[in-house]
Structures are given as structure tokens and as C-alpha cells.
Amino acid sequence: MNRPKRIAIISAIFSVAVGLIVFAAMAFIASSPPSVDFTAQPGKPVQLTIQTVGTIGFGIHPSWVSYLVKSPSGQWVNTTLWQFPEHTTVDVTLLEYDTGSPLRNQEVGSVTGVQNPTVNGDPYTLVNSYAGNGVAHTFSVPQLNINVPLPGINSNSKNACGAAPCTIAETHNTVKFSFNTGAAGMYRWQCFIPCGLGFLYGNGGPMQTIGYMDGFLEVS
């Protein structure tokens, strides 16, 4: 094969490879969950209501564990991409509907980086995961030193939520706390409890997928 033909073949292969990369990137962008905007009233505290559920019950992964967020219009949205104003207080109400278990790493049982943390109205700074119902999930933002362990519900509950969005009438724990968004930037947040059932050590699937158990706080 002469040199011009080899160059033509290599160019064709390169073009196909670039096309596949672009196609994959566009598919990823198109499948990315929406971002919920909480920047409409800069300078005022943001009221953030979220819930954790053991089974999302819809979408392409209906059996996955997940977070949901209530939009400013009052709709529950299955996304973990949220926009906040910089240097703003965020008052969080987190409704936890999932069962818990003992922690592999007891360090994530400590509350850090937030103000006025309470569980069902009682102040707390630590969850002993070997007592009660263990820890179901965490809300953790490493760059802001935020870690909030979420106590699980009783696994024998007769009124557990079956699929999201869950209602106040179903068994849950209400966790409240506040934090400051700090300077503008992208802050990754996630759950540190391996809860990806069916995946190696529980760390795959929803644990590594935006829209389920990790996401970003976009602060601007």
C-alpha cells in the first residue's frame, strides 16, 4: 500500500473516532439531569427541601436509591444539580425515607460544617451507627467541610415509602441544618454511604451517577 492510501485510511479512522467522541459527549449532555435554580432572590436565605429514597421508582434506573429536590415552584425533581447565590445562607430541610446500617467508617457519623443541625427537632452532632437504625446516607460537600449523616428509618416500618416522591405521611426522619455557600464556584457534593446495591462494595451505579447520589452546587 502506497503512502497516500495509508494517509487516507488513517485520516478516515481518525475522523470516525472524533465523530464517536463527539456523539458520546452530546449524548451525555443530552442525558444530564436538569439544574434547579435557587438564585432568584440574591441576598435572602435559600429554603432547600430535599429527600432521600430507597427506590426512585421511575426513569431508566427505577430500583436505584436517589436524592430528589423540591423546586421553587414546589415540584419534586430527580436532579442533584442545584444553583445558589454566593455567600448565601441555605436552610435545609432533608426528609430521609431510607433504612440505615452500621457505618464502615465511623468518621462520617459526625456532623461538620453546618449550623443548627437537628433530627426530628432534637439537636445532634453525631450518629452512633451501631445504635438505633444506623445511618442511611450522608449529605457531604468536601470543599466546604460539610458532612451530615442521615439516620435511617426502622426497617420494620409498616408505612415505608415505596417509590418517589415520598410523602410526609410516610415514615421518615426530618433533618434540618443551615450552611453558607461561600465564594462562587462548582462544589461537588455526594453521599459517602456505599448504597449502590448490586454493585461491587456498594460503590457503583447510583453512587457514581449525577442525579442520584452525587451532584454539584453551582454557586455564582
Residue identified by cell 446516607 is: 137
Residues 6+ apart with CB under 8 A from 137: 52, 65, 96, 98, 150, 191, 193, 195, 213
Q: Where are the domains of the chain?
A: 1-31, 34-219
pTM of the model: 0.83
- Residue 42 pLDDT level (bands cut at 50, 70, 90): confident
pLDDT at 195: 79
Q: Which long-range contacts (CB under 8 A, 24 or more apart) does 142-146 make?
A: 142/188, 143/185, 143/187, 143/188, 144/113, 144/179, 144/182, 144/187, 145/112, 145/113, 146/112, 146/113, 146/114, 146/179, 146/189
pLDDT tens-digit series, residues 98-129 = 999 999 888 899 999 999 999 999 999 999 99
Higher confidence at residue 102 or residue 12?
102
pLDDT tens-digit series, residues 175-195 = 999 999 999 999 999 999 987
pLDDT tens-digit series, residues 139-152 = 999 999 999 999 99
- CATH code for 34-219? 2.60.40.420
